[in-house]
Amino acid sequence: MLRLTDLKLPLDHTPDDLEAAICARLGMERGALLRHAVAKRGNDARRKSAIHLVYAVDVAVQDEAHVLARHAGDKDVRPSPDTAYRFPVMAPADWNGPRPVVIGAGPCGLMAALILAQMGLKPIIIERGKAVRERTKDTWALWRRSVLTPESNVQFGEGGAGTFSDGKLYSRIKDPRHLGRKVLVEFVKAGAPDDILTEAHPHIGTFRLVTMVMSMRDTIEALGGEYRFETRVDDFEIATDAAGERRICALHLSDGTVLPATHVIVAVGHSARDTFQVLHDRGVHAEAKPFAIGVRIEHPQGWIDRARYGNFAGNSVLGPAAYAASHQARNGRTVYSFCMCPGGRVVAATSEEGRVVTNGMSQYSRAEFNANSGLVVDIDPTRDYPGGPLAGIAFQRKWESLAFTAGGSDYHAPGQKVGDLVAGRASSGEFGTVVPSYQPGVRLTDLGRCLPDYVIDAIREALPVFGRQIPGYDHPDVIMTGVETRTSSPVRFRRGTDLQSVNTRGLYPAGEGAGYAGGILSAAVDGIKVAEALAQELLKA
């Protein structure tokens, strides 16, 4: 098979047009094309008057060697890559060695557990939150009634934080082994739509993620895996062996039991602050890492569609438009859009009492009225929160607590209109053209009450810049809701080339919480990598 890339066609093309374009691009007759399959489809909207779909297509042709030779040096005509996944090791059928433990059932832990189960290692999955159906009820309780369940919410529970998000499944990570393809294939097996295999920017949406996570759990259990929900790891028992190396040997669980464990994947997500503290207290190497904080900004989706697609706005082939924006402010800070959710809503995402945190979410249809995105500013430990590996947690908590107070101390969020923030005044009165989607609700105020001055100054400078790039972006009635603080983990647990902690054997820090991923797909890919490394270490004897 050949992989043909950067093949552009108009939005209203037919299947015959695609075949004709393939043949024209390769300079051959239609009869020489045996078959073809779309590998990836995106769009090029740089010219709003002439938007095109852009394809990567796998094609089978007569005399493939001749076609390749004729297009030697053409970067858009190459042999199709081998994207098949192959397990590096498999446990023997009679293997009865120690069972690996996976802490956390988010995207990273879920894929790690699945790979371990498929390799015959029967993992034990420890999840502090509830199974996804029950967790969904608790999450809605916060949104609808301001009732927070600290162990079952947007951050904690089966499926992880990604369950209540846009479900974006693309990443810029380097992936020479095509592990992302393995993730997508498993998601489709579990009920995700087939188009995630071919869309350039695939997404699933919350409702489909819920059923998909349940299906993957069924698969893991059928392969001998075991889930323990509503069980938190309260301590890590670490011993020093005869060679002087620190090794994990057991986990102390919240139900009072002690679980012997010699091979443990820690995939707890970016909000497991108590777990970070315990790991640090037990001497597991940790270091502070950069992240970003800011707000969620909302616009009517139609504004974004027109800004991106012009007269093609509303085209069913294109769907709701997304955007990306970045600005280097005069104060040295970078302001950028983050986790943009077309046709979605801003959601309450706190996991701690007395704090307000925002995030964005969409369903698969992306059919709600507003678009939302994080509008965040880079934060660095050396200048913003010096004081040790966990200082970023205290930094986050400070602003989340101030946001709780600014919103009225009942899980309403503080909000401000763009026009008021740019003018340097608090917002009050009624909402204008843009009505916020956050529940339990938004109270207009001054976001300077719950964000650092340098963040507010950088956002104030960036808004008119983005308005020139995206018409309507800085409309005075556009609403910003605070605060967005959980963009990524403020901590990294350093690991070696074998993916084990650099100073604790048998402990595999993984995913977003450990500082090695930033989103569903990258976290899931990291889960595959650590599962493979653990299995190879466990079975090498």
Residue 156: pLDDT above 70?
A: yes
Q: What is the pLDDT, as a whole number, of residue 244?
A: 92
| Bridge partners (DSSP) listed for residue 41 | 55, 199
Q: Could you check whether the bond before residue 79 is cis, i.e. omega within 30 degrees of 0?
A: no
Q: What is the pLDDT of residues 12-37, one digit of tens each?
A: 999 999 999 999 999 999 999 999 99
Percent of the chain with pLDDT over 90: 94
Give the pLDDT confidence score for residue 168 in this predicted structure.
87
Estimate to the nearest angstrom the gap between the alpha carbon of 111 and the chain centroid: 14
pLDDT digits (tens, 9 = 90+) for 83-116: 999 999 999 998 899 999 999 999 999 999 999 9
Burial class of 533 by CB neighbour count within 10 A (0 to 12, 13 to 18, 19+): buried
Q: What is the pLDDT of residues 526-536, one digit of tens each?
A: 999 999 999 99
Neighbour order of strands in the sheet with 246-253? 233-240, 246-253, 258-260
Q: Residue 393: its pLDDT value, please? A: 97
Residue 401: which H helix or E strand, with range? helix 391-406
What is the C-alpha to C-alpha distance for residues 224 and 355, in angstroms, rounded to an integer? Answer: 39
Cross-strand bridge partners of residue 294: 376, 484
Instruction: Give the mean pLDDT of the chain.
Output: 96
Structure tokens at 438: 């956050």
pLDDT above 70 covers what percent of the chain?
Answer: 100
Q: Pick the residue with more confidence: 511 or 164?
A: 511
- Distance in angstroms (rounded) separating the CA atoms of residues 183 and 138: 28
Res 301 pLDDT > 90: yes
| Backbone φ, ψ for residue 502 (5° rounding) | -65, -15
Residue 472 falls in which region: left (phi positive, over 0), alpha (psi -120 to 50) or beta: left
pLDDT at position 417 over 70: yes
Whether the pTM exceeds 0.85: the reply is yes
Band of residue 166 on the pLDDT scale cut at 50, 70, 90: confident
| Span 121-134, pLDDT tens digits | 999 999 999 999 99
Going by pLDDT thresholds of 50, 70 and 90, the confidence category of residue 172 is confident
d(CA 176, CA 168) in angstroms, rounded, equals: 20
Ranges of beta strands (E only) in 177-245 are 226-228, 233-240
Calculate ∠ Cα 198-82-540, nearest 5°.
Answer: 120
What pLDDT is stored for residue 74 in this prediction?
A: 95
For residue 32 the two structure tokens come to 């020489």
* pLDDT at residue number 167: 81
Phi, psi of 273 (to 5 degrees): -65, -35
Token digits for 60? 């089978």
pLDDT of residue 108: 98
Task: Give residue 206's pLDDT.
Answer: 79
pLDDT of residue 364: 86
Assess whether pLDDT exceeds 80 at residue 541: no
Report the C-alpha gap between 118 and 122 in whole angstroms: 8
Please name which of 53, 492, 423, 94 lies closest in space to residue 266, comparing C-alpha atoms. 492
pLDDT at 176: 95
Residue 33 phi, psi (nearest 5): -90, 110
Over 80: is that where the pLDDT of 388 sits? yes
- Looking at residues 189-204, what average pLDDT do you find? 93
User: Please, what sign has the CA dihedral across residues 66, 67, 70, 76?
Assistant: negative
